[in-house]
C-alpha cells in the first residue's frame, strides 16, 4: 500500500476493551496512524471508509462475536490480504490456530510489554512489505541453529529436513565463527546455553557483518517478558517459546528468509 511521503503506516486495532485500546494507542501513536474497531459497528464503519490498513492488531478474545470478526476481516477486500497480529491470553497454539482459521497471522501472548509489542508489529510490517513472490522450491532455505543440546540440534535437523539446508552448532562461539562463511538466510538461537548465553551470542552476532544482516529467531523454554525484551533490544526478529507448533515454526522461518 502506498502512502504520502512521511505518512505513518496505518494500524487497525480491533479490541473491545477500552482500557487496553487507550494503552495500545498510546504505545503506538509515534510509529503508526492508529484506527480503532471497538465493536462490530465501528469495525464496519472503518471498512466502509475505504482506508486500507498496513497491519491489523486483533484481540482473539473479542467478545462481540469473535468468529464473525475473523470472517469479516478475511472476506473484506480492504483487509483480506493484510497481515494480522493476534494477541491473546491463550497459550495453546492449536486452540488459537483453530479459532482464527485462515487469517494471516502472527501471535503475541498477553500480558506483554510496550517494547515487545512494538517490535513485533514493526517486524510484521517489514514482512508485509516483502515481495509476495514465492521463493523457487528448488532453492532451499539456509538455516543455522545454535544450541548447546545435541538432541535439540538433531530434532531441528529432522524438522527442517525438507526445503531447508540445515547446519547446527553447539556453542555461541561456533555460531559466530561460522556465520561469515555460511551466510544463512535465518539463524535459530537457543537462549539457555551454558558458557556464552543466548543474549551475549545475539549481541556478538549483530556486531558481525553477516550476522547484522541475518534475521535471528530466539528459541527458548523461558516465557520471561524481560528476556524477550532483551532479545528484541539486541536485534532478534522473533522469540519463540518451546514447545511450539511445527507448521507455524516452519512458516515463520520461510517468512523471515524473505527479509
Q: In whole angstroms, what is the distance from residue 41 CA to residue 38 CA?
A: 8
Whether 112 contacts 131, CB under 8 Å: no
User: What is the number of structural domains in the chain?
Assistant: 2
Domain C-terminal end among 109, 129, 149: 129
Q: What per-residue confidence (pLDDT) applies to 62?
A: 66
> Per residue in 128-160, is it b (16+ CB within 10 Å) or e — as a string?
beeeeeeeeeeebbbbbbbbbeeebbeebeeeb
Domain range holding 117?
A: 10-129
Q: What per-residue confidence (pLDDT) applies to 251?
A: 84
Q: What per-residue confidence (pLDDT) applies to 93?
A: 53
pLDDT tens column, 106-132: 677 777 888 888 888 888 787 766 544
Kindly state whether residue 98 falls inside one of the protein's structural domains.
yes
Segments of the chain scoring below 70 in pLDDT: 1-6, 62-67, 90-106, 128-138, 259
Domain C-terminal end among 102, 129, 156: 129
Helices (H), 50-92: 66-75
Helix then strand then coil, % of the chain, to nearest 5: 45, 20, 35
What are the DSSP E strand ranges found in 55-101? Answer: 55-59, 84-88
Check whether residue 124 and residue 146 sit in a common domain.
no
Q: How far apart, in Å, are the Cα atoms of 63 and each of 25, 42, 45, 69, 108?
A: 20, 14, 18, 10, 18
Kindly state whether residue 40 falls inside one of the protein's structural domains.
yes
Domain C-terminal end among 101, 129, 157: 129
CATH of residue 78's domain is 3.40.50.2300
Amino acid at each position: 500500500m502506498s502512502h504520502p511521503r512521511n505518512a505513518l503506516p496505518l494500524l487497525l486495532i480491533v479490541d473491545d476493551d477500552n482500557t487496553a485500546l487507550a494503552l495500545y494507542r498510546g504505545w503506538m501513536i509515534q510509529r503508526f496512524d492508529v484506527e480503532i474497531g471497538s465493536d462490530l459497528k465501528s469495525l464496519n464503519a472503518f471498512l466502509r471508509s475505504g482506508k486500507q490498513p498496513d497491519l491489523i492488531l486483533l484481540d482473539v478474545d473479542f467478545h462481540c462475536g469473535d468468529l464473525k470478526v475473523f470472517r469479516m476481516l478475511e472476506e473484506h477486500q480492504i483487509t483480506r490480504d493484510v497481515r494480522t497480529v493476534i494477541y491473546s491470553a491463550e497459550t495453546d497454539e492449536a486452540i488459537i490456530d483453530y479459532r482464527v482459521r485462515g487469517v494471516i497471522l502472527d501471535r503475541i501472548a498477553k500480558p506483554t510489554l510496550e517494547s515487545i509489542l512494538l517490535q513485533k508489529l514493526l517486524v510484521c510490517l517489514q514482512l508485509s512489505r516483502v515481495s509476495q513472490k514465492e521463493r523457487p522450491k528448488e532453492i532451499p532455505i539456509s538455516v543455522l541453529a545454535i544450541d548447546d543440546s545435541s538432541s535439540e540440534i538433531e530434532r531441528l535437523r529432522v524438522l527442517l529436513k525438507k526445503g531447508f539446508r540445515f547446519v547446527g552448532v553447539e556453542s555461541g562461539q561456533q555460531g559466530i565463527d561460522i556465520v561469515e562463511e555460511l551466510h544463512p538466510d535465518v539463524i535459530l538461537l537457543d537462549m539457555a546455553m551454558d558458557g556464552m548465553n543466548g543474549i551475549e551470542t545475539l549481541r556478538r552476532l549483530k556486531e558481525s557483518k553477516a550476522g547484522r544482516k541475518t534475521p535471528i529467531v530466539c528459541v527458548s523454554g523461558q516465557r520471561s517478558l524481560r528476556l524477550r525484551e532483551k532479545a528484541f533490544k539486541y536485534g532478534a526478529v522473533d522469540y519463540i517459546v518451546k514447545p511450539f507448533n511445527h507448521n507455524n515454526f516452519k512458516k515463520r522461518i520461510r517468512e523471515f528468509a524473505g527479509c
